[in-house]
Structure formats: structure tokens, C-alpha cells
Chains A and B, each alone.
Chain A
Amino acid sequence: MISQIQRRAFIIVILGFLVAFSSCNRQQPSVKTVAIATLMSHPAIDQVAHGIKTELDREGWKEGINIRYVDRNANQQMTVVPTIASDLAAQNLDVIVGITTPMAQALRRVVKSPLVFAAVTDPVGAGVVSDMTRPEPLVTGSSDAWPYRDQLLLIRQILPKAKTLGVLYNPGEAASQYGIQQIRHYAPEFSFSIIEASANSVGDVVPAAQSLIGRVDALFLSSDNTVIGGATGAIKVAIANHKALFAGDSGTVRIGALASVSVGYEQLGIDTGRLVGRVLKGEKNIPIVVAQGSDVYINRKAAEMMGVTIPQAVVDHATKVYDTIGQ
């Protein structure tokens, strides 16, 4: 067994490493640091992060030369969120980008550097800003308020005879609560009746989808983190039962949802990137960008497997047509 002295030496060496490492982040004044922090990863969020970096690169911020990124991901652990926020607040960063509502909220609470939130559906409700129309000096960002009405219109166009729509969502996510209210609000206009099924975790998505199958004409996946995380399972259930499944975001169409009128998350990322660029140049009081989502995405392979024919008019107007079911 190791002796006492060797044990002590081991601990000291480890601690020494940690101290050295964490002191190592000295910046050169000409390199800007941008942090990108999120609660979790999934296709839509990843598209935003990618869009931000793509846009910044296009504007001349080359990684390693004049910009450095600090990426943080809480991996769905809510208890790590405040720690990440405190950690970023303690470093001298030029801009902090917060993706997803909880991360944006935690950052808003503690950071003093300029904050850019991304893809927060209801920034006022979340307390990140107090007024959408009056820009704040150090806080700006993008909001992905989804085009619920257009989504329902698209469903009606593709399925003229459908009566009942089954909606999957996680009541535990703020954005979804807002979303379901909007769906209920617009449904009568298109003669839809709505049946809801809730999924509190990614593992609940498949059972929720199965519970809807017999009772509805089509399924709709709300764009909350939980449901998107479990989308593949729901898509499988839909295909096996020849039921149409629609999604609220484009990423899910790529992996097999039939269609979506979506916020283009890549575009949202680019718009957010533009905001970051402006902040880096020293601008303040920048207005919030609300996503103009009217891009229609469809997946013909999914349509074929679900037994649905998409009207040619819809295909012609689509922004993007997928012919395979992606990973």
C-alpha cells in the first residue's frame, strides 16, 4: 500500500496541476473571448451554436487568431447551471452567449459582461429582459417564438381531412407551456381538436406517442428540449402505425418528421452571431431579434413511410426538401 508521505505528495501534485491549469488562461489583449453556454445539446441548439461561429468567422473573427471560444454544456444537469454561470461571470470574457432559457436566466443573474441570449422563446416571461421593445445596454439576443399558426396551416394543407391532432410536450419546460397555449388558441381556426400527451423526460416520449396513436389523425412534436431529444422514438412509432408526425423545428424534419414550418435555427444562429459581432465592436442597446420563421421543411422519405402524399404545391414552396431520414 502507499505510504502516508506518498499519499500526501500525490494530493499536492494533483492540486498543483489544477492550480496551474486554472491560472493558465491569461489572455492576450488583442484576442477576444466569447463564451457559449447551454443547458444541453440537441440538433436545434447545435445549429444555433454553429450558426454563431459561422457568422463570426465570416465577419473576420478567426478562431485562434483574434477570437477564442469557451464552450460550456451542462448536459441536462440543472444543478450545474449556476456553477457554470458563476464560473463564466468570474472570468473576464468579452461576450457571453447563453443558449436555452435556464442558462440565459442564470447568466443574466450573475454576469457583468455583455450577454447575448439565443433561442429563448419568451425572454420577458423568463425575466431575461423586461421589455422586448426597449433594448438594454448590456443584454440582447434572439428569440425563437415559433410560428404556431403557420404550422397548423401547413398541417391542414397536407392533411385536409385530419380532425384530431395529438401534441407531445414536456409540461416541465417553460417554452412548451407557452407553446401549447398558442396551439390551443389557433387550433379551432383550422378545425383541429387537440389531444395532449406529456413527457417529463426523454424516456417518456415513446410511451406518450404510443398513447396518442389510436386516438389522433396526426402527431405534432412540440419544440421543447425533451421531446426533440426523444424525437427519433416518436418518429418510429408514427412510421410503424402509418401516422403523420409533424415537428416544430427543422432539425427534427431532417431526422424523419414529415414537415415543419420552422424557425431556421441555423439562420437564427447567424442572426445571433451578427449580434455578437456588434457587441464585440462595442455597440450597446441592441434590439432583440425575433426569428422570422416561415421556412417550410419537408421530408419526402418520411412522408412515404408514413403513408402520406404531400401536395405538390407545398413541395414547390418548401425551403428545403429532405429525401432521406438522417441520423
Chain B
Amino acid sequence: MAWTPIQIGIAQGSVLGWAVLCFSMAYRLLGFADLTVEGSLALGAGTYAILVRQGFPVSQCLLLALLAGSLAGALTGAIHAYFRVNQFLAGIIVVAISFSSTLRIMKGPNISLIGRASLLSKFGLVDNGATQTITLLLLLLFGAGLLIVLFRSKLGIALRAVGANHRLADELGLRSALLIVSGLALCNALAAISGVLLAEVQGFADVSNGQGILIISLAALTIGEKLTPSRLLAYPIFVIIAALVGSITYQVVIAFALRLGLPATDLRLATGLLVLGIVATRMRTGRDNVLGASL
């Protein structure tokens, strides 16, 4: 059934969508090229898994996973803002710290959650079916909705001001350093949610869960921004929706490529070509959008 790759893609796209949001929001709205997501995703997954294994109530596990992710983000922001280290390096340092921290927290590189009472099972969904997919999608949409509300609020505008024009933000007297730290903390808490959901859906948490999430986020960002109509949407809404659209589309593409049974070595090539195909069919013939050109 052709529906299944679409469904699988939507499910995985909804799981990883939070991490894509982390990257997109940091990059587009906070003006911060944040690499931390690679570490905070695994940190969230690992923290959640070890606590579930030890029998803590699921809601506590989730909360602590979020806390772990946000600490990683805050650390990146702090290293950048207070130690004047550039964005990339700050993120890389924290990814390295996260990796070791995750290993220690997990007391090993892999924790299995198969057969354990979990978040999804609480809602009566253990299955790989349509219900799980729809739930994951609705969760993501709900989260996106909350974020849209946030970024239209005064605090959200202040955060965006720091990202859009750092000098202006300073001149206005905004606490730029604090805002960056808080903003990144929020973004990486989202990445931790992806980690938690990934652990739930795949049945285990592994310290290398975050590997490759940056490439996925970049691909999702590019696809999403090309596919989402920019004319009718306010910028923060555009960025958030583009992240979702991109994440899901990309995972659907991968699911189809897998279903086609392409040889292992060609999977990445195929996905690359399909991404290019989507992007090419949306190329505008006129003057390019100021914002679209910048990545």
C-alpha cells in the first residue's frame, strides 16, 4: 500500500520534528547557528530511558529529560555570550560534553525500553499503526501552536530582536545574553522531546541517537522553506511551519526511498536527488526572496 511510506514518514517526521524546530528556531529566529541539537537529543533520550528503567513515574522522567536538554542549550548560550566563543564552537563543545554526560547518565551506551510502561502506552498506543502516527502528529502541531503564541508575545519579539539585529537589541537595553541563553534552553528542550519520542518509538535509547540530526535539520529546513508559502504568513509562523513541513516531507521521502528497495549505498544519493527535485520545482523565476537566499 502506497499509504504506508507516507504514514511512516509522517510518524518519524513528527518524532524528529521537534529537533528540527530546535535548529530552525535557533537559526532563523534567534540568529544562532546552534549545533547543540546533536547532543541534546541523545541527552533527552538517555535521561528519559534511565529514569523509566529505574521505575520513576513517566511524567517525572519526561520533565527531567526536558531539563537536561535545556541545560545543554543554556550552556551553549552561556559559553557564547559570556566567554565570547563563537556559535559553532560553543555548540561543538557542548555536544562533546553532552556525549560524555549521556554515557554517564545512561551508565552505558544503550538502554532498552522494550516491554516497559511508557508514555505512549499510557495513552493506549503501543502499536506502530495509524493511531500512533496521528497522535505524534497532533503532539507536534500542538507544540508548534504554543511556540507560535510565544513568538508573537513580547518575550518572543524580544528574543527575535536579539537574533535579527544584535546591536539594536543592545541599544534598546535588552538583556541580550540572558535572552540568548533562555532561547537556546527552550530550543534544546524541544530537541530533548524528540529524544524521548525516539526512545519510545524505537524501543531503546542509544548514545548515538543524535548523529545525523544536523544534516536532517538542514535538509528539512531547506525543503520546508521552499514548500511553505511565505507571502501570507508572518515570519515566525513561517519558520515554525516550514520546520514541520520540511521534517515530515523529508522523512516521507526517505520512507519511499527505502520502500523502493534501493541498494543501501544509493539511499543517500536517492534522497539527495529527490530533495533537489522538490526544491527545483519550486524555484521562482523572478527576483529571489531576500530571506530564502540566505542559506
Contact = CB atoms under 8 A, between A and B. Distances in A.
Touch test A–B (CB under 8 Å): yes
Contact of B8 (A14, A73, A90, A171): A90
Given A87-B258, A125-B112, A127-B112, A82 B202 contact: yes
B124 interface: no
Interface in A163-188: 171-174, 176-177
Given A23-B2, A83-B255, A87-B259, A174 B110 contact: yes
Given A41-B264, A127-B115, A102 B206 contact: yes
B112 A83 contact: no
Interface stretch (B80-88, B207-215, B232-240): B207-215
Contacts of B204: 102, 105-106, 109, 126-127
A254 to B, nearest CB: 22
B137 interface: no
Looking at B112, B265, B283, the one whose CB has the most chain A CB atoms below 10 A away is B112
Nearest to B194: A79
Contacts of A71: 261, 263-264
Given A78-B209, A90-B128, A110-B128, A128 B114 contact: yes
B167 interface: no
B103 A171 contact: yes
Contacts, number: 137
B109 interface: yes
Nearest to B96: A200
Interface string A86-111: 11011000000000011001101110
Interface in B190-213: 198, 201-204, 206-209, 211-213
Contacts of A128: 112, 114
A73 B203 CA distance: 19
A51 to B, nearest CB: 19
Contacts of B7: 90
Interface in B80-116: 99, 103, 108-110, 112-115
A83 B108 contact: no
A234 B67 CA distance: 40
Nearest to A41: B264
B258 A85 contact: no
Given A75-B268, A83-B8, A177 B114 contact: no
Nearest to A38: B264
Contacts of A327: none
B12 interface: yes
Contacts of B2: 18-19, 22-23
Given A21-B260, A82-B198, A130-B115, A173 B109 contact: yes
A105 B12 contact: no
Contact of B202 (A41, A70, A106): A106
Looking at B201, B204, B265, the one whose CB has the most chain A CB atoms below 10 A away is B204
Nearest to B268: A75
Nearest to A75: B264
A106 B110 CA distance: 12
26 contacts: A10-B281, A22-B2, A41-B264, A72-B264, A75-B265, A75-B267, A78-B212, A79-B213, A81-B202, A82-B15, A82-B201, A83-B9, A83-B255, A90-B1, A102-B110, A105-B202, A105-B204, A109-B201, A110-B128, A127-B112, A127-B204, A172-B103, A172-B207, A173-B110, A176-B109, A177-B108
Q: Which 3 residue pairs are nearest across A and B when measured between Cβ atoms?
A: A127-B112, A109-B203, A73-B264
Interface of A: 1, 7, 10-11, 14, 18-19, 21-23, 41, 70-75, 77-87, 89-90, 101-102, 105-106, 108-110, 125-128, 130, 171-174, 176-177, 200
Interface of B: 1-2, 4-5, 7-9, 11-12, 15-16, 99, 103, 108-110, 112-115, 128, 198, 201-204, 206-209, 211-213, 216, 251, 254-256, 258-261, 263-265, 267-268, 277, 281, 283, 285
Given A10-B281, A126-B112, A127-B115, 7 more contacts: A71-B263, A83-B251, A85-B202, A87-B8, A87-B259, A90-B4, A177-B109
